[in-house]
Amino acid sequence: WNELHGLAINNDVAEIKDSVLLRGTIVRERSELSGMMPIHKACMYGRLLAFQELQELGADLKSETNWGSNCLHWVVKGYNYHKNDDQLNGSQKMPGKYLENDYLDIARTLLKEAPRLLSRRNRKGLTPLELAESLDTEGKTCKMYKLLEAKKIEFEKQDIERSQLELKKRPKVRSVA
């Protein structure tokens, strides 16, 4: 655990930059027990500005904790935890509150930059979508679940289209009779 973990939770972008650039704090340092990096904390607490700053400073979006949870797993966990506590409101000026759109924007960025995160399983064997489904007490109605489900369908369609293109590119084999 280094100071970036706390700064990520507090969404303190200016201090994050100073910590790395002036004091040499390591962006990819893991906490001893959990293996969490500051980027995981930003995801878990829905701190969009801290997430963006850590990403710019070289954070590994594909990293996993000791539990096999990646950044997308942590976005889902944090979103659902705070959604159930009715804490998803406020503004960037109210750092104690959790913003639904910030969680969703982090998830969108992760899905754009590292789409394979959606299919990665944690140590419990759950993908982020399966985790969202298991945590969604409203029965597949939360925005996070819908976003992940839509992306999964989109990625599956892209895979089918790629496969079809590959089949068209293959030379036709003529049978000799």
First-to-final CA distance of the chain:
71
Nearest-angstrom CA–CA distance, 111 and 131: 16
Q: Which residue has the tokens 């027990």?
A: 33
Interval 10-62: pLDDT, tens: 898 999 998 888 888 888 888 778 899 999 999 999 999 999 999 999 999 99
The residue among 64, 65, 66 whose CA lies nearest residue 117 is 64
Of 110 and 24, more confident: 110
**pTM for the whole thing?**
0.83
Interval 48-104: pLDDT, tens: 999 999 999 999 999 999 999 999 999 999 998 887 555 555 444 444 567 889 999
* H-only helix segments in 85-123: 100-113
Mean per-residue pLDDT for 105-128? 96
The pLDDT, as a whole number, for residue 97 is: 64
The pLDDT, as a whole number, for residue 93 is: 44
What are the beta bridge partners of residue 98?
88
The pLDDT, as a whole number, for residue 91 is: 46
Mean per-residue pLDDT for 152-170? 85
The pLDDT, as a whole number, for residue 32 is: 74
